[in-house]
Amino acid sequence: MSQTTEFTPSGQLQLGVFFQGVNSGTVWKAPASGSQTDFESFRRIAQTAERGLFAAFFLGEGLRLREHLGRPHALDVAGRPDAQTALAALAAVTTSIGLVATQNTTYNDPADLAHRLSSLDLLSGGRAAWNIVTTDNAWTGANFRRGGYLDHADRYTHAEAFVETAKRIWDAWNGDGTVRRVHHSGKHYTVDVTPRLPRTAQYRPVLFQAGDSPEGRDFAARQADVIFSAHPQLADALDFRRDIVERTLRAGRGANDVKIMPASEFILAATPEEALEKKAWVRSLQIGPEQAIAYLEQFWGRELQGYDPDGPLPDIDPVVEETSETRGSGFHGAKARQLADQWRAEAAEKGLSIRQFVSAKTSRGDSTFTGSYTEVADRLAEYARTGAVDGFNISPWLIPTGLDDIINHLVPELQERGVYPTQYAGSTLRENLGLATPVRSAAGADAPTVTAQA
Ligand SMILES: Cc1cc2nc3c(=O)[nH]c(=O)nc-3n(C[C@H](O)[C@H](O)[C@H](O)COP(=O)(O)O)c2cc1C
């Protein structure tokens, strides 16, 4: 681990692909759309990404379909295969790309998850990663035996104990046929385990983190290798980098130790004009009339089916109760009326219909790179030069062909500008991301050592 206090841009970018199952960004109803559950969709995207030397293939996690007023939320796609199962299958049809599983710390158990991630890491030859999330809604909690839902502060102390325990499990093999037992007894867990797998080709799975609060950022600064951030705009990305470097140094790590890859979407074409036309078309597919109404219903907490998607925002007020961050992905009930007033004023001022307003709200304006291949390559080269980010995690708006133009046209432009690899740096994800081998955690040093069974 380097203890460098000055951050130095690497001048390079890495790309990842974020295959989203549940969202308002992927178009599942266009003629070229594949299936969200068919392995062919996963295989096609992963192999295309690998052809473009992408560092990582990324799967999100949603352990329960969101519901609203007793029916599945219209923006959700039913069918999201378990991430580690899908990634294990992909390991067999790819050779170099990293395989990132989003897994939450709130509803898993550390010894079990550490073992399953080690398994993926071993079977893929050192290509596994864990995107650590805490999961912010009680819908998910209701699915689990322990039920309920942890409040924000607790979710991160819980996550910290979880990750520390997982790291000790991964550190436990000594490389000489002996293994340390791992004991952990704390507020959240009691674990007593003799780890069942040796270290992997990249020592242990790479750790990503996604969560943006101050607590989430400090957690990442202490524990993560890479942050999956929500800050892709250049000025914002530079601020975020400064903030993370400060937090990383405060955590006793080096200024370059935590990589940053923001979520992003690319709408590209041969000319800027064509790209803008394409963007309008993509947006119209992403938010249809039903999606627009369903989106508002999340926030209003009530049926809005009688409202015209091409008319103004609903004049009735939201139901002020627990609609809310403790239930789904909306916002807290108490703020509902305030937000509705604000949105109505904003839509009236700009003359936007429900559909136009929702389209603007969900447009990921902040995270969309629209333009010609050369234009966008020039913009990205600036990110590499300034060190604002270490790469981008791209959500294709079309599955499974949505990466084709990026691989065929954008990647060569980036390579020409010297900011993108021309081959994989190594065989493990850690090597390909330019991450150092972890230093063994001191936490387990005193645990008894036992001889491993063959
Ligand atoms: C870019 C990004 C991607 C995320 N992906 C997931 C996901 O796939 N599954 C999940 O349960 N939570 C996901 N989260 C949510 C985080 O786990 C976390 O619960 C949420 O951001 C609230 O924590 P915070 O207040 O620290 O931001 C994601 C968050 C971010 C910023």
CATH code of the domain covering residue 135: 3.20.20.30
User: What is the chain's mean pLDDT, rounded?
Assistant: 88
Alpha carbon nearest to ligand 1 atom 12, residue: 135
Q: How far apart are the first and last CA of the chain?
A: 32
Distance CA 98, CA 399 (A): 19
Task: State pLDDT tens for residues 316-343.
Answer: 988 865 544 444 444 455 578 888 999 9
Which of 131, 212, 231 maximizes ligand 1 atoms within 8 Å of its Cβ, making it the mutation to test the pocket?
212
Last residue of a domain, one of 362, 381, 399: 362
pLDDT value of position 453: 39
Alpha carbon nearest to ligand 1 atom 8, residue: 60
Does residue 173 sit in the same domain as residue 315?
no
Structure tokens at 287: 């938010």
What CA–CA distances, in Å, run from 290 to 20, 28, 77?
20, 14, 14
Q: Band of the pLDDT at 446, cuts 50, 70, 90?
A: very low
Does residue 171 sit in the same domain as residue 68?
yes
Distance CA 285, CA 29 (A): 8
pTM of the model: 0.90
pLDDT value of position 323: 45
Rounded to an integer, the average pLDDT of 339-353 is: 94
401 by DSSP, 3-state: which?
Answer: coil
Does residue 324 sit in the same domain as residue 396?
no
| Domain count for the chain | 2
CA of 144 to the centre of ligand 1 (A): 19
CA of 209 to the centre of ligand 1 (A): 8
Is position 5 within any domain? no
Task: State pLDDT tens for residues 257-296.
Answer: 999 999 999 999 999 999 999 998 898 888 888 888 988 8
- Determine contact, residues 367/263, Cβ cutoff 8 Å: yes
Minimum mean pLDDT range among 64-78, 281-295, 372-386: 64-78
Which of 133, 144, 325 maximizes ligand 1 atoms within 8 Å of its Cβ, making it the mutation to test the pocket?
133
Atom number, ligand 1, closest to the C-alpha of residue 262: 1
Task: Kindly give the residue spans of alpha helices, DSSP state H, lying in 231-351.
Answer: 234-250, 272-286, 289-300, 336-350
CA of 270 to the centre of ligand 1 (A): 34
Distance CA 116, CA 118 (A): 5
Is position 6 within any domain? no
- Determine contact, residues 13/389, Cβ cutoff 8 Å: yes
- Determine contact, residues 2/254, Cβ cutoff 8 Å: yes
Minimum mean pLDDT range among 48-62, 145-159, 254-268, 383-397: 145-159
Alpha carbon nearest to ligand 1 atom 9, residue: 61
**Number of neighbouring beta carbons within 10 Å of residue 153:** 10
Task: State pLDDT tens for residues 75-122.
Answer: 666 678 899 999 999 999 999 999 999 999 988 999 999 999 999 999
CA of 102 to the centre of ligand 1 (A): 9
Domain residue limits at 338: 274-362
Distance CA 13, CA 196 (A): 36
Distance CA 87, CA 42 (A): 9
CA of 204 to the centre of ligand 1 (A): 23
